[in-house]
Amino acid sequence: MENDGYGNRGAGANLHTDDDVTITFLPLVDSERKLLHVHFLSAQELGNEEQQEKLLREWLDCCVTEGGVLVAMQKSSRRRNHPLVTQMVEKWLDRYRQIRPCTSLSDGEEDEDDEDE
């Protein structure tokens, strides 16, 4: 996925936005427009490229860009996190804030001055 800035994200495709949702286009094909490898397919699901594209369209929210690139649309919310998520993150960060800083770091080697004594 290419990210050239806030206004242009993903495969050079148009980015549809509104106040609550951002849609990012994630390419499903390589530079030669061949489908990217799909991991964890069963023997029945492995087939020709047409069957794999059908499977992708069944499980992902897909579309074709103006440039003819098959992409998956990833929707993300701009809204704030749920209060419980914010609370969990703060609690997690507090544990790290309470760790006392190390006064000296050592890479496990003795100082050269100590060896001379």
Q: Where are the domains of the chain?
A: 21-98
pLDDT value of residue 79: 67
Backbone φ/ψ region at 12: left (φ over 0), alpha (ψ -120 to 50), beta: left
Please report, in tens digits, the pLDDT of each residue of the chain (117 residues total): 443 444 444 554 545 555 677 788 999 999 888 899 888 888 878 878 888 899 999 999 999 988 889 999 988 776 677 788 888 888 888 887 777 666 666 666 555 555 555
Which DSSP letter does residue 87 get?
H
pLDDT value of residue 60: 93
d(CA 48, CA 41): 12
Q: What is the DSSP string of 31-99?
A: TTSPBPPPSS--TTT---HHHHHHHHHHHS-EEE-TTS-EEEEEEEE-SPPPHHHHHHHHHHHHHHHTS
